[in-house]
Amino acid sequence: MFVGKPLLYIAVDNAANGGGVGGGAQQHAAAGSVDETKQQATLHDVDDESDRLHISTDESVHSISDSHYGGRKDSESEGEESGIMAKVLSSPAVRKMSKDYSIDLGAVMGTGPGGRVLKADILNIINARHSTAKPTGSTTVPQVSSASSQIEEDTVIPIRGYSRLMVKSMTTSLQVPHMVYADEINANALTEVRDSLRPLAKEMGINKLTYLPFFIKASSLAITKYPVLNSTIDVEEMTLTYHQSHNVGVAVDTERGLTVPVVKRCQDKSVLEIAEELGRLYALAFEGNLSEADISDCTFTLSNIGAIGGTYMSPVVLPPQ
């Protein structure tokens, strides 16, 4: 007879009851919800009762362990997920964009150095989603005639004037070794400075103050610190000439083609004075009235794609710069 003796031992972590882990305390539980007092009154013969009592030990143990460790498993899975996000190399702007568009950074193949996920990688995924999206409603595709159908035969047109010079300079620029590096910076302070200068710019007759004058002045300051950026090379004589004047050229796309007017002696001009000179050169460029002095003696060139839009580009180096 085993009257008064426990039928099942269940070891429970004492930490759940306020004690330390492995405190050695054991709690004895009878089958189901039958307490020990009731056991002693009803279980007279274990041999007879063993056929009638069905104790599901696996279910009891699993229910206790799940309730005790379930919260920790959830937190561990969340920690693993956040750990994966932390291991992905990306900028805060890229992480925010991926979150806004519900893109898993861990599944993105980064094209940057060391597998870094770039903004372009996220934009490619977003564009791919839009291109694969099914259009709603019926759409008609307009029939576009090819350009060749409008030309009856091959036509040869001579390239003259300024376009001829640009073709020659662009072809020569391919002989210069290029190294392209791109990065992103926070320009909030620059935006605040530009906004503060707008009233003064209007007083000077500058209706639109863009970022370009700031970039030109920043280039001039960089040239002051690194004069080699404002030098020209003579390959035949193998000499390097350091120029005193910071004459910065800016490419302008006009109806007559690409032209590069030059802002002279930027080291002596303020940002607003550079903006004022740019306005004068732009007006002459679109009218086709740029003089030879306006497009000559360039020592440093900025490539600006602000009007087109985009993220990165490879600048054009004009020899002998």
pLDDT in tens, the chain (321 residues): 455 555 555 555 444 444 444 444 444 443 444 444 444 444 444 444 444 444 444 444 344 334 443 444 444 444 444 444 556 788 888 888 888 888 988 888 888 888 888 888 888 888 888 777 655 554 554 554 444 457 788 888 888 876 777 777 778 777 777 888 888 889 999 999 999 999 999 999 998 999 999 999 999 999 999 999 999 888 889 999 999 999 999 988 877 777 889 999 999 999 999 999 999 999 998 888 888 899 889 999 888 777 777 778 777 777 777
CA distances from 51 to 41, 55, 87, 239 (A): 18, 11, 58, 106
User: Which residue in this structure is represented by tokens 């600006």?
Assistant: 304
Q: What is the pLDDT of residue 137?
A: 52
DSSP 129-153: HHHHSPPSS---PPP---GGGG-SS
Residue 174 burial (10 A CB sphere; 0-12, 13-18, 19+): exposed
Q: What CA dihedral angle connects 228, 229, 234 and 240, to 10 degrees?
A: -10
Q: Which of 284, 263, 282, 257 minimizes the C-alpha distance to 162?
A: 257
Coil, helix or strand at residue 278: helix
Per-residue model confidence (pLDDT) at position 205: 92
Q: How far apart are CA 101 and CA 120, in angstroms?
A: 14
Q: Judge contact between 278 and 250, C-beta under 8 A.
A: yes
Alpha-carbon span 211 to 223, nearest angstrom: 19
* pTM of the predicted structure, to 2 decimals: 0.51
Residue from 189, 188, 205, 187 nearest 275 by CA: 205
